[in-house]
């Protein structure tokens, strides 16, 4: 088997973001990366950056040590079933599809391969994903390999499969939720006199900085909020007006609604 080949089946939004992240993380020096979609012309930007592109899934998985499945959830079992006879016996399969269980993946792969589910978010393109990962019967070596691959693309959380829907809501849908906060703050910033470009930079960097305070330390969000909030001051006036308009409760409600949707409730 040729060493160091990765295959991404389904070069859409997430598959392409994953490929971009792999390029940025320098994995292209370590692995040959082959990405497919049926309309392979759309992969030209990735071909220009040195990836092997095409629409032949069988050629992509041949000799690949890791195969990422990034097609739509309802396509995963059929696509995986069409590939199993072409996979190297030691190939590791990583499904990125929301809602497709490890049991279904094992069945579709004829119970012959190590199977992982991984839920990155689109920030994987800039190596800032949080990727939730679960597996069944994976060896320590495979867990280490998958963990180190995704930790080069952000941070990794290994979690039980029954928490993967919660992780999907917080970390994948969460990208949209966070961007909606940013969009609202930018609109307000323009209303109070900043240019849209300046407002985007200020809000995006402020959110990034707030996140770093938590990620680089072990502070609670409220402890960091306290540092900015002078009694009788400007910040508390803003925070309380937001809370009167339902800020925290709307976020909790939105996250619960998204979670119920993942559970089909």
Ligand X SMILES: NC(=O)c1ccc[n+]([C@@H]2O[C@H](COP(=O)([O-])OP(=O)(O)OC[C@H]3O[C@@H](n4cnc5c(N)ncnc54)[C@H](OP(=O)(O)O)[C@@H]3O)[C@@H](O)[C@H]2O)c1
User: Nearest Cα to 153, choosing from 171, 179, 173, 165?
Assistant: 171
Start-to-end Cα distance in the chain: 46
Q: Is 14 among the residues that bind ligand X (CB under 6 A)?
A: yes
Q: Residue 119: what are its φ and ψ, rounded to 5°? A: -120, 90
Q: Tell me the window of 24-32, 94-102, 189-197, 231-239 that interacts with ligand X (CB under 6 A).
A: 94-102
Q: Is 172 among the residues that bind ligand X (CB under 6 A)?
A: yes
The SS3 assignment for 249 reads helix
Binding to ligand X (CB under 6 A) within 38-57 occurs at 38-39, 57
Q: Is 102 among the residues that bind ligand X (CB under 6 A)?
A: no
DSSP annotation string for 52-89? EEES-HHHHHTT-SEEEE-S-HHHHHHHHHHHGGGS-T
Q: Which of residues 41 and 216 has its CB atom nearest to ligand X in the complex?
A: 41
Q: Which of residues 7 and 199 has its CB atom nearest to ligand X in the complex?
A: 7
The size of the interface with ligand X (CB under 6 A), counted in residues, is 25
Q: Is 93 among the residues that bind ligand X (CB under 6 A)?
A: no
Binding to ligand X (CB under 6 A) within 66-85 occurs at 70-73, 75, 79
Q: Which residues lie closer than 8 Å to 253 by C-beta, 6 or more apart?
A: none
d(CA 32, CA 53): 11
Binding to ligand X (CB under 6 A) within 111-130 occurs at 119, 121-122
Q: Which of residues 133 and 199 has its CB atom nearest to ligand X in the complex?
A: 133
Q: Which of residues 165 and 199 has its CB atom nearest to ligand X in the complex?
A: 165
């Amino acid at each position: 088997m040729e060493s160091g080949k990765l295959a991404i089946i389904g070069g859409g939004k997430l598959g392409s973001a994953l490929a971009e992240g792999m390029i940025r993380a320098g994995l292209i020096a370590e692995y040959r990366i082959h990405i497919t979609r049926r309309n392979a012309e759309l992969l030209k930007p990735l071909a220009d950056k040195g990836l092997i592109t095409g629409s032949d899934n069988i050629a992509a998985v041949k000799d690949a040590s890791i195969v990422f499945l990034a097609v739509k959830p309802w396509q995963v079992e059929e696509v995986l079933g069409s590939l199993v006879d072409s996979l190297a016996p030691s190939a590791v399969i990583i499904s990125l599809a929301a809602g497709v269980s490890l049991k279904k993946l094992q069945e579709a792969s004829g119970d012959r391969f190590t199977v992982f589910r991984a839920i990155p978010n689109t920030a994987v393109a800039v190596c800032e994903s949080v990727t939730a990962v679960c597996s069944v019967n994976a060896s320590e070596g495979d867990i280490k390999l998958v963990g180190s691959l995704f930790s080069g693309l952000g941070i990794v959380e290994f979690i039980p499969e029954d928490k993967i829907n919660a992780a999907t809501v917080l970390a994948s849908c969460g990208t949209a939720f966070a961007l909606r906060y940013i969009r609202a703050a930018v609109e307000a910033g323009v209303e109070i006199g900043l240019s849209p470009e300046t407002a985007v930079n200020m809000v995006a960097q402020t959110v990034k900085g707030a996140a770093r305070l938590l990620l680089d330390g072990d502070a609670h969000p409220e402890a960091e909020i306290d540092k900015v909030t002078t009694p009788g001051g400007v910040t508390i006036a803003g925070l309380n007006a937001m809370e009167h308009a339902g800020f925290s409760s709307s976020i909790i409600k939105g996250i619960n609604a998204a979670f119920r949707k993942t559970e089909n409730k």
